[in-house]
Amino acid sequence: MTDGIDPEWELEVAEFYRSLGITQGPGDVQYRLIALVLAKNGVGRLTRFSEIREYTDRVTDKGNIGSKMKTVFQLQGLVKRIGRGEYVLTEKGAIAAEFIKKTSKYYSEVKLTQKIIERFP
Amino acid sequence: MIEGILVHALVCLEVVLVSHLLAMKMFTKYNHTDERYLISISFGLFWFLLGLSYLCIGLYLIIAAYHGTSQISSTLLYWGFSSLALITAPLAFFIIQILIGDKRVSLAASCSFMMVGLIFIFLLFRYGVDVADIGSWSVDFKMHTLLLLIFIYGSYIPAIAMIMALIPFVALKTISNLRKYKITMSLISLSLAYDFTLLGVMNIGDFERLLFDVMILIGALIAYLGYFPPDGIVEWLRGPDTLVEPVDFGKWDDDI
């Protein structure tokens, strides 16, 4: 994965985890994108809701994002709401984002290995 | 008639039988539209060339056992070594295509080993092989040092390095025992074939060379049993847990 966030790639990774029965966190494309956009700006830095929507609108239903921010990210203390449509990532949120990045790496490794094994006659 | 050499020839012909049977089965294992078709062909070609080499050496030994060495029988020895010099080309395609999956890269690697093999053959006919003596079990020969060096550094060491690249896949926890078995058996067979071919080319001992060829025969049998295992082994490796419907991983399922 590059420094940028690729919603299509995140969707593919989320689908892989969903296929394993992991529907929350790594298997939830909304969660993945929100965590990654927040992590891109860094801990304690302002992230606007519109910025998150730039990524999420391409792959998911826009109506759910606000709900996800409230019921998951704010409730669990992953972000702090500092104004209307303005959030900052907490240290706990950064841990979640790091975990999401690691799940992408794990998926890449599994995909690569799977392709090699598939080619074995 | 020298019985020991005839026994040696018999071992060589058994190598021919097993390796050619494996090669023929690998040639027809997949449809040409399958992604694994060329990989399977290259593996088959490896064993076909090894078998061809042993066919020539086996016939050479039969002639040597009855009539001693002659110019005509020596031609068989040259053909045998020529075939042996080319075996790394299909092996390179086999391993690199599995690891990288890019036909251009695999073909380029294969062609470079083909060039090394052709250089070996050219020098083989230029320098020749001196047949020194007929022993009780084998025919002693002396190959030019340059040919040995080309075989070791241009064929053996790269081949072993490529074979070693596949070892980590044996340790994967996410693949079935049956697939691990297949990978392990093919790696063992290739290692045995290369290691004992090298010792044979280096012309170490008399009876020892018969043992080297027995090990190559074992290697060919291991390869055959690896790709076409008996039902008992398949059932044992699958175990009772696979009676439960496995997770749908598509091609991850064993396809034997």
pLDDT digits (tens, 9 = 90+) for B165-211: 999 988 888 888 888 999 999 999 999 999 999 998 888 888 898 99
| pLDDT tens per residue, range B138-177 | 888 888 899 999 999 999 999 999 999 999 988 888 888 8
Collect all residues from B whose CB is shorter than 8 A from any CB in A: 26, 29-30, 35-36, 39-40, 43, 97-99, 101, 169, 172, 174-175, 179, 182-183, 227, 247, 249, 251-252
Nearest CA in chain B to A16: B249
Whether B109 shows a pLDDT value over 80: the answer reads: yes
At B242 the pLDDT is 52
Phi, psi of B142 (to 5 degrees): -125, 125
Tracing tokens 């081949």 back to the chain, one arrives at B159
For chain B, what are the domain ranges?
3-234
- Rg from Cα positions in chain B: 19
**Mean pLDDT calculated for residue range B25-33:** 91
Q: What is the DSSP string of A20-62?
A: TT--SGGG-HHHHHHHHHHHHH-BT-EEEHHHHHHHHTTTS-T
Whether A3 shows a pLDDT value over 60: the answer reads: no
Whether B249 shows a pLDDT value over 70: the answer reads: no
Whether B55 shows a pLDDT value over 90: the answer reads: yes
> If pLDDT is split at 50, 70 and 90, which confidence band does B252 have?
very low
Q: What is the DSSP string of A52-114?
A: HHHHHTTTS-THHHHHHIIIIIITTTSEEEEETTEEEE-HHHHHHHHHHHHHHHHHHHHHHHH
Contacts of B101 in chain A (CB under 8 A): 115-116, 119
**Chain A, chain B: beta-carbon pairs less than 8 Å apart:** 43
**Which of the 8 DSSP states describes residue B86?**
T
**B101:A116 CB<8 A:** yes
Q: What is the ipTM for the molecules in this complex? A: 0.79
Nearest CA in chain B to A110: B174
| pLDDT tens per residue, range A85-103 | 899 999 999 999 999 999 9
CB B30 within 8 A of CB B228: no
At A1 the pLDDT is 40
Sketch out chain A's domains with CATH numbers. Answer: 7-114 (1.10.10.10)
Query: A46 at the B interface (CB within 8 A)?
Result: no
In this complex, which of B26, B175, B227 lies closest to A117 when CB atoms are compared? B175
Complete edge-to-edge strand list for the sheet that includes strand A79-83: A46-48, A86-89, A79-83
| pLDDT tens per residue, range B212-228 | 999 999 999 999 999 99
Average pLDDT, chain B: 88
Instruction: State what percent of residues in chain A have pLDDT above 70.
Output: 96
CB B37 within 8 A of CB A119: no
**Which of the 8 DSSP states describes residue B209?**
H
**Coil, strand or helix at B110:** helix
Q: What is the DSSP string of B120-187?
A: HHHHHHHH-EEEEEE-SSSEEEEE-HHHHHHHIIIIIHHHHHHHHHTGGGGG-SSS-HHHHHHHHHHH
Strand A86-89 with B129-134, pairing: unpaired
At B241 the pLDDT is 57
Nearest CA in chain A to B26: A121
Q: How far is A26 from chain B (nearest CA, A)?
A: 19
State in words which class domain B3-234 has: mainly alpha
**Mean pLDDT calculated for residue range B36-62:** 94
**Mean pLDDT calculated for residue range B41-46:** 96
Q: How far is A120 from chain B (nearest CA, A)?
A: 6
